[in-house]
Amino acid sequence: MAQHIATRPHNVAAWALGPKQRTLVVGSAKYSSPPKGYVAIQVIDVAVNPIDWILQDSDLFGLNYPAVFGFDVAGDIIELGEGVDDLHVGQRVIAHCAGGKAPALGGFQKLVTVQRNAIAELPYSIATSRGVVLPLGISTAAAGLYQEGFLALPLPTQKAEPVERTVLIWGGSSSVGSCAIQLATASGLDVVVTASPKNFDYCKNLGAKQCFDYRDKDVEDQIVKALEGKTVVGAYHAVGPDGAVQACARIVDRTKGKAIVVTVRGIPDHGIPSSVRAKAIASSAIFTNEIGPYIWRKFLPKALETGVIVPAPDPLVVGEELRSVQLGLDKQKAGVSAAKIVITGIS
């Protein structure tokens, strides 16, 4: 049964008024009760992803404007749409929003509407400013790891059984890489990653078995040697400069197992061996199949409670309130390492 609030609360958003507009403008936003299968969340914290400043700089998807960006939020449920019977008003949650699609769905506002399958309860032992680092990273990692036609790993569980398979994650200390390490480990796989040496311990604490410096000239040979005798399920390219997708492809082409690379970037026109499949990841695709509901509603709430999944990377709080979102976009664009930009005190 839907739960509605008696009076319409006042909403405020950080608006992109037009394509490639440099500064977001904070102003009033319409609030409507969530439709069937959706939930309204009063936002406490937001996190910034590279896609946010890319949307602002490039108008990548030809959005309708004015638009509200933002994919990662943490906050409290204030209203339920019809058919949402496994969540309740007042619950503290994290959520993966559909930034840019429609103003009501973008995360950079005080009151956001989110589909129920993109929401997970957040234990009160985890601060919202920490939990908020996860949403888009979790969905993007899951999209590459679990979907048919991608790496198609066994789904993660609270107590993983070893499957004697290995996955390579390129960019293990990134937001997506941090989530991919933990999810793959929860699926019973051995995880090998690339990262900067200063982040080796960070990656190992998340579950990586071996770490390699992606800047080493012979890093491909090092990884291939480490993978000798192992069955490799493929490579997950989470972040990395031009040429990293091709490096992943060359590595899986020289190892035993599936010759597939999944990437958060586009597929390069050249440099992929003909025997290797390369597929681009779309995080929202998991909500068109069973992966999204499993990860977000069945696995993640309990995994956060038990510590099987921990919020990573660490939040880097750069400001408060919606007026600080533009600063967050600028700092993310400038680059961060083993950290995620967070803005607190949204509501």
How many domains is the chain built from? 2
State residue 29 phi and psi, 5-degree precision.
Answer: -140, 145
> Token digits for 47?
């996190």
CA 99 to chain centroid: 13
Is there a single domain that holds both residue 157 and residue 279? Answer: yes
Is there a single domain that holds both residue 200 and residue 69? Answer: no
What pLDDT does residue 62 have?
A: 85
- Read off the CATH number of the domain in which 128 is found: 3.90.180.10
**How would you write the pLDDT of the chain (347 residues) with one tens digit per residue?**
677 776 778 999 999 999 998 899 999 999 999 999 999 999 999 999 999 999 999 887 888 999 999 999 999 999 999 999 999 999 999 999 999 999 999 999 999 999 999 999 999 999 999 999 999 999 999 999 999 999 999 999 999 999 999 999 999 999 999 999 999 999 999 999 999 999 999 999 999 999 999 999 999 999 999 999 999 999 999 997 789 999 999 999 999 999 999 999 989 999 999 999 999 999 999 999 999 999 999 999 999 999 999 999 999 999 999 999 999 999 999 998 889 999 999 99
Phi-psi region of 276 (alpha: psi -120 to 50; beta: other; left: phi over 0): beta
> What number of residues does the chain have?
347
- Read off the CATH number of the domain in which 209 is found: 3.40.50.720
Regarding beta strands 314-320 and 339-344, do their DSSP bridges make them parallel or antiparallel, or are they unpaired?
parallel
The residue ranges of DSSP E strands in the chain, in sequence order, are 11-15, 25-29, 38-47, 72-80, 92-96, 111-115, 119-121, 166-170, 190-195, 210-213, 231-237, 256-257, 260-263, 277-280, 314-320, 339-344
251 domain-assigned: yes
Identify the domain boundary among 284, 303, 333: 284
Separation of first and last alpha carbons in the chain: 27
Identify the domain boundary among 268, 284, 300: 284
3 domain-assigned: no
Is there a single domain that holds both residue 280 and residue 164? Answer: yes
The domain in which residue 179 lies consists of 141-284
Is there a single domain that holds both residue 97 and residue 196? Answer: no
Is there a single domain that holds both residue 145 and residue 261? Answer: yes
Is there a single domain that holds both residue 256 and residue 127? Answer: no
